[in-house]
Amino acid sequence: MDVSGNTSKASSVVAAICILVYIAAIAFGATRVIIDMGERRNQAEREFSDLSDRASSSAVFLGFMSEAYQETIRDFLNASSVLMGIIITSTGGEFAFERQPGSGIVWAGNSPRFRVGPGIPSEAFNMPLRIEGQRNVRIQANYSYIDYDLFQRVLRNTLMVVLGALLVAFVTLLVEMGGKRKAGRSRAGTSNWKARPAVQEEDSMFAEVESEVLNEETTEENTKEGSPQGLYSPRGNVGWESYTQDRLASELHRCSSFEQDLTFLVMSFRGSLPVYRQFTDEAVSFFYMRDLIFEQGKDGISVILPNMGLEQGMSKSEEFRSRIIAKLPESFKGRADLCIGLTSRAGRLVDAKRLMLEAFSALEKALVDDVSRVVAFKSDPEKYREFIRQSSRNS
């Protein structure tokens, strides 16, 4: 019996399999990283487009480069997972924002420049801003196209697969060497060699468990009701309810100037809401811009969605409602029922008061409807013209 010939054949097969495993693991890891890079590029483009719209619209309501305006830009940057730094240039100077100090911006004297290096594109996003009273205003942003956490996980998993294949190849080599030594010591026809049982390796998988700790912050309501202090309410860390109509009027003016649609939605609950701050934090995380979300009554909020039609607004509302139920199941299951009413500009020259009336009318129907929790107000052109005529007579 030719033992050395059999073991050499087995080791060749194992070596070929190990090489295929190496190639497959490296190819899979590289593909995963490349796909993620493309997704991050697309996400950065979408967020930069939203940032440009917010930077233009916020200037109308808050004042260009006011403290509240800069806080809005910082909130957007902190909510982003890909954008690293933002530079806004105007005739009045250059203003720089970055998510972490030193991560996206370097300074050459008093002039900010984007940091260059591995994982950062050589060219930043660049777009002009249309701001009344300001000339030559541009906004730029850079981003990181490599998710280093994902890159480390892929590298670690690929290394584990390669080490596992190397271990199998090493054990096979030891078995072959042992068989050759035993065959050399035995005599022809008298040895009674038994092949060692094949060593089976079990791949061990390590599951990473991430737990989110939601800390509910309890703050006292403003002692002077009707006199808000600052841009955001301490109870929900979103806009004060009294700011809603003015900001909606500003956004309507901007959208009508650019012939864009706008959706306004109002949310409320059947019953009482146990964790208002967690709910508003989820709303900010989902709708991105904190300055377009406002408190509404005791347990509700209202949201302005510029450049969005009614159908897309309904889809967004349903998606947010499902997210809330999934994110906060212990707080909402069987205790509160989220209802949403919404309306849109739909090409009309409608004022903020009228749009709010339509959204609240839709919300009232949602609160009494046992089937649909999201109700949209669809405008009737004839009834709207009649409303305009009556308003003109009354004035």
Please write the tens of the pLDDT for every residue from 35-90: 988 888 898 888 888 888 888 888 888 888 888 888 998 899 888 888 888 999 98
153 and 251 fall within a common domain: no
Q: How far is CA 190 from CA 54, 114, 186, 187, 193, in A?
A: 88, 79, 7, 6, 9
- As a whole number of angstroms, the distance between CA 389 and CA 364 comes to 26
Band (pLDDT 50/70/90 cuts) for residue 204 is: very low
pLDDT of residue 203: 37
Question: What SS3 state is found at 89?
Answer: strand
32 and 172 fall within a common domain: yes
Band (pLDDT 50/70/90 cuts) for residue 8 is: low
Exposure of 338 in the CB half-sphere (CA atoms within 13 A): 26
- Give domain status of residue 271, yes or no: yes
27 and 116 fall within a common domain: yes
Average pLDDT over residues 231-251: 92
153 and 295 fall within a common domain: no
Answer whether residue 191 shows pLDDT above 70. no
- Give domain status of residue 202, yes or no: no
Q: Where is pLDDT greater, at 224 or 117? A: 117
Please write the tens of the pLDDT for every residue from 126-145: 989 888 778 888 999 998 88
pLDDT of residue 194: 40
Q: Which of 114, 144, 180, 168 is nearest to 47 (CA)?
A: 144
pLDDT of residue 361: 93
pLDDT of residue 190: 43
- Give domain status of residue 122, yes or no: yes
260 and 365 fall within a common domain: yes
In the chain, % of residues over pLDDT 70: 82
Task: State which of 185, 212, 233 marks the end of a domain.
Answer: 185
Average pLDDT over residues 178-182: 71
Helix or strand holding residue 306 (H, E): strand 300-306
| Domain of 9, in residue numbers | 1-185
Q: How many domains does the chain have?
A: 2
pTM of the model: 0.47
Answer whether residue 389 shows pLDDT above 90. no
Average pLDDT over residues 240-259: 92
pLDDT of residue 15: 79
Please write the tens of the pLDDT for every residue from 313-333: 999 999 998 888 888 887 776
Answer whether residue 357 shows pLDDT above 90. yes
Answer whether residue 250 shows pLDDT above 90. yes
Query: Would you tell me how many other CB atoms lie within 10 Å of the CB of residue 327?
Result: 17
Average pLDDT over residues 286-301: 91
Which has the minimum average pLDDT: 58-67, 155-164, 178-187, 347-356?
A: 178-187
- Give domain status of residue 370, yes or no: yes
CATH number at residue 310: 3.30.70.270
Exposure of 334 in the CB half-sphere (CA atoms within 13 A): 1
Task: State which of 147, 162, 185 marks the end of a domain.
Answer: 185
248 and 154 fall within a common domain: no
What is the chain's mean pLDDT, rounded?
80
- As a whole number of angstroms, the distance between CA 285 and CA 90 comes to 30
